[in-house]
Chains A and B, each alone.
Chain A
Amino acid sequence: MGPAGEPIDAVFREERGRLLALLAARFGDLDLAEEVTAEALLAAVETWPRSGVPREPLAWLATTARRKALDRIRRDATLARKLATLHADADPARRTEPVAEYWHIPDDRLQLMFACCHPALDLDTQTGLTLRYVAGLSTAEIAQAFLVPPATMAQRLTRGKRKIQQSRIPFRVPGPDELDGRLGLLLHVVYLIFTEGYAATGHRDLVRCDLVDEAIRLARILHRLMAGEPRVTGLLALMLLTDARRPARVNDHGMAVSLEDQDRSLWDTSMIDEGIRLTTQALRHHLPNSWSVQAAIAAVHDEAPSAQETDWRQVRLLYDELFALTPTPIVALNRAIAISWHEGPQAGLDHLETLAGEPGLARQHHWHAARGHTLARLGRHTAAAQAYRRASELAQTPAEIAYLSSRAEKYSTPD
């Protein structure tokens, strides 16, 4: 895509994603889809100011892009042969088929998302391709968000696109046998985009926060296309309920604020309301899933006027359920924290100590920070200061380092 392509992307982001998905699913060729999408958008920019915006802009764009694709296939015998082996719709006889109104144009973004998140691609590539092609971010924006040089990101995307092409990753929603596992991967990618952006809150480079919005946007698209899928509903709810606390997460000095100390009046109530509504929907399903349970935990926190007035019994029960579904060290850690509130700091500390041998946890600041917190509540200030110090050494973002250092400072000063 030429340099002129990028500003157009920004104007037609939603349309671009839908067009690309439509064409990729139709022709089975991402390169072709990308090129004719760009051409159709360019044609729109040239034509619309003179002729006026058509009544159905997306239909206009889809017709234009499809015509351009078919022209290209007719001119290029190699491309036609390639598409024929892909069993794609390259039949010029169908070119006169009228494109109906906007709402009749299929939304194939789900198909595109499943291709981008295919397990044949590595996770970084899945994430990059999803942001580039489904969310419609530019390569430069994605590179900036993941703090990698633009050339590295461009190469990653090119390789990924080539693999989709060469190994013929289909633009298709997987069949019932595979759907469960494949949707799990897709949701993981969306949540990874979310946590990548969320962890960065408080960075001076606020661009990374856009990833949070992108992840929520992707989840909304998924929710629209798979409304009956409780995991999708649960994931969207979880992200809304978590992001609702964004205004209170970092103070004016760029220091992270713990959930306990956040000014809850800053939380976004409309996001909380929507999140709770979605959580209720997701939990109505007879089989619980880890996304919905995590959303439920976030909902209990978001409904509580303060940490002390939180229904910790409920939180603990939900963590028991989550641990049964996904027995990971980090869930065990959060469960121990819930126990420290529900049964008291000593019980919490006992649980935390049983996790000391978990290699994944000892190297993460969360475990040390949680120890510091329970030790402080038990009045063991010297030990608390040591734990907070260790946590601050392991923390990654400036906001967290600032917070954990200030805690270590606080408990190392004799009162």
Chain B
Amino acid sequence: MLLIMGFRTGEGMPQPPSSGAPSAEEFMQNQQELGQAGVLVDSAALHSFEDATQVQVNDAGQRLVTNGPFAESREYLGGYQIIDVPDLDAALDWAARCPGAKYGRVEVRPLAEF
């Protein structure tokens, strides 16, 4: 799974490799390449972290609903791609081609099998 992470901008925040944000066209293009290579299993883009809502359940079973991710978190998940490739190097090649890698970072995580 490729987790496409964005950086929040502002004071003391990590600097992305390039400034700006990937365009929709770049992602469409990438999506097309993944499809053509026959490796794409699933993918999604997420709305802004400002529209996020969090849920936690405490020991007493009570729900705690709060607005957004914690203010101090520097990164947010912008979307994901699930790809089926033979090994890590192949996954890294796709991660490097993901537009998100230019403006944030792409985290490569193997799916656990049960």
Q: Which residues of A contact B (CB under 8 A)?
A: 85-87, 118, 120, 166-170, 172, 174, 178
Contact = CB atoms under 8 A, between A and B. Distances in A.
Interface of B: 86-89, 91, 108, 110, 113
Nearest to B84: A85
Contacts of A87: 86
Contacts of A118: 88
B108 A167 contact: yes
A170 B110 contact: no
Nearest to A170: B87
Nearest to A175: B89
A19 to B, nearest CB: 22
Nearest to A88: B86
26 contacts: A85-B113, A86-B86, A86-B87, A87-B86, A118-B88, A120-B88, A166-B110, A167-B88, A167-B108, A167-B110, A168-B86, A168-B87, A168-B88, A168-B91, A168-B110, A169-B87, A169-B88, A169-B89, A170-B86, A170-B87, A170-B88, A170-B89, A172-B87, A172-B89, A174-B89, A178-B89
A198 B73 CA distance: 43
Contacts, number: 26
B112 to A, nearest CB: 8
Contacts of B89: 169-170, 172, 174, 178
A170 B85 CA distance: 12
Contacts of B108: 167
Contacts of B113: 85
Nearest to A81: B113
A70 B54 CA distance: 49
Given A118-B88, A166-B110, A178-B89, 6 more contacts: A85-B113, A167-B88, A168-B87, A168-B88, A168-B110, A172-B87
